[in-house]
């Protein structure tokens, strides 16, 4: 279970462990443990990256809405609240402007009226180009 032969009290009592070179060679044990851990880490990283790609593909299958264009105005989903959000606002009050897009990945860079840029997924955006342009709320 721990990658080595266990030392039991009975083995120490009869000194069988001390006569076995494969058990007592700590340098070989450390080297084999390091290579085993290295290969386990590489295997876990490969499985993790495959699973991340799979999860991303599954999430992007259910993208809501049409692709957005640069200079489109959008609201961002309000995900900041914790707990019960039955009566909370669904969208943040600020109007953002789309600055850049990667439609194949459904990722958009948006800018608020202060000039701060955020990167968000398409599922968190709703187009509000139908709203009248108010310079106090949005400065493209």
Q: What is the pLDDT of residues 46-55, one digit of tens each?
A: 999 999 999 9
Pairing of strands 107-111, 96-102: antiparallel
How confident is the model at residue 53, as a pLDDT?
Answer: 93
In a domain, 107, yes or no: yes
Residue written as tokens 């202060």? Answer: 114
Of 18-27, 37-46, 48-57, where does mean pLDDT reach its minimum? 18-27
Q: How many CB atoms lie within 10 A of CB 63?
A: 13
Report d(CA 20, CA 9) in Å as an integer.
15
Sign of CA dihedral 30, 31, 34, 36: negative
In a domain, 121, yes or no: yes
Shared domain check, 44 and 82:
no
How confident is the model at residue 140, as a pLDDT?
Answer: 45
Cα-based distances in Å from 78 to 2, 82, 91, 123? 47, 11, 5, 12
Of 36, 61, 86, which closes a domain? 61
DSSP 46-82: HHHHHHHHHHHHHHHHT--SPPP-TT-EEEEB-----
Segments forming the whole domain that contains residue 53 = 9-61
In a domain, 135, yes or no: no
Element (H, E) at 127: strand 125-127
For 57, the token pair is 């593909």
Q: What is the pLDDT of residues 67-124, one digit of tens each?
A: 888 888 898 888 877 767 777 778 888 889 899 988 788 889 999 888 889 899 888 8
For 81, the token pair is 């609240």
What would the mean pLDDT of 44-67 be, rounded to a whole number?
Answer: 89
């Amino acid at each position: 279970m721990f990658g080595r032969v266990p030392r039991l009290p009975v083995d120490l009592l009869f000194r069988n462990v001390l006569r076995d070179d494969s058990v007592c060679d700590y340098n070989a044990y450390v080297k084999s443990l390091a290579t085993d851990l290295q290969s386990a880490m590489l295997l876990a990283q490969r499985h993790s990256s495959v699973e991340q790609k799979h999860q991303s593909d599954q999430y992007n299958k259910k993208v809501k809405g049409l692709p957005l264009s640069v200079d489109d105005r959008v609201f961002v989903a309000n995900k900041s609240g914790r707990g019960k959000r039955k009566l909370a606002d669904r969208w943040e009050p600020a109007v953002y402007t789309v600055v850049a897009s990667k439609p194949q990945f459904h990722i958009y860079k948006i800018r608020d009226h202060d000039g701060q840029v955020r990167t968000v997924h398409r599922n968190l955006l709703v187009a509000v180009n139908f709203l009248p342009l108010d310079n106090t709320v949005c400065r493209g």
